[in-house]
Amino acid sequence: MRTRRRKKINGILSLFIFFICAFLLTIFVMYKIEMKVVPSLQEISHNRSMAMANEIINDSIQKVMAEQMPSSDTFLIMNDKENATYSVNTQQINLFCTNLNKKINTAMQALPNERILIPLGAASKTNFFANWGPLIPFTLMPSGEITSDYETSFVTAGINQINYKIWINVTLEIQIVNPLYSEKISLTKKIMLVDTIIGGKVPGLYFSAGQN
């Protein structure tokens, strides 16, 4: 009886030790996989999110350009033709920035319906396994405010010629949401709006914004 009971206890103890070892081994393997897989998935989702944010900005720019159909004359006011004196049309530029913000905001509101699906095999960074495995979903959410502002420059381009430039700086934030991790991405893009040559007398040129 004692021998049987001892064997039974030893069997239960061995089984318990086996399960403990299996549990610890599973945790160790999962930890190693997470250390290798999660950073790779973070990098892939980050790059795809940046590409999507770029696409949103580019599409919004095209829509505003199509609606307003601006030209260099739209954003530039000639104050004195004889002395070639110009000023920046801040009203039109601010209107452009406002419309651009609205377009981007509309596109951003649709982000929760967009999901980035990355095959688990893509974490291996090998072409053979790139499309293998279950799809890991990453949801994009708008985060923070959308801002757009402009910068201008007048640069001498030759005798009585000025290279006039105006570009828009657009900044937006998106958040990647996934059970594995969460990340906020800030993207600032510089978009050339006007790049033209103005002929006239250089000394008479000034900015209405106070820049000489």
CA distance 30 to 32: 5
142 to 53, 57, 98, 176: CA distances (angstroms): 10, 13, 18, 9
pLDDT of residue 132: 67
Q: Give the pLDDT of residue 131.
A: 64
DSSP state of 204: G
Which pLDDT belongs to residue 209?
A: 45
pLDDT at res. 151: 86
Q: Is the pTM of this model over 0.85?
A: no
**What percent of the chain is modeled with pLDDT above 90?**
1
* pLDDT tens for each residue of 22-60: 888 777 666 666 666 677 777 878 888 888 888 888 899
Helix (H) or strand (E) holding 192: strand 182-199
Kindly give, in sequence order, each residue whose CB lies less than 8 Å from that of residue 37, ignoring residues fewer than 6 positions away. 120, 123
Q: What is the DSSP string of 121-182?
A: GGGGT-TTTTT-SPEEEEEEEE-S--EEEEEEEEEEEETTEEEEEEEEEEEEEEEEE-SS-E
The pLDDT, as a whole number, for residue 49 is 85
3-state secondary structure of 63: helix
* CA atoms of 165 and 192, how far apart (whole Å): 8
Amino acid making up residue 40 = S
pLDDT score at 210: 43
pLDDT at 212: 40
Q: What are the CB-based long-range contacts (under 8 Å, 24+) for 59-65?
A: 59/103, 59/107, 60/100, 60/103, 60/104, 60/107, 61/100, 61/168, 61/191, 63/103, 64/96, 64/99, 64/100, 64/103
pLDDT along the chain (212 residues), means of 10: 58 75 76 68 82 89 81 66 67 87 88 72 62 74 83 77 84 83 85 76 47 42
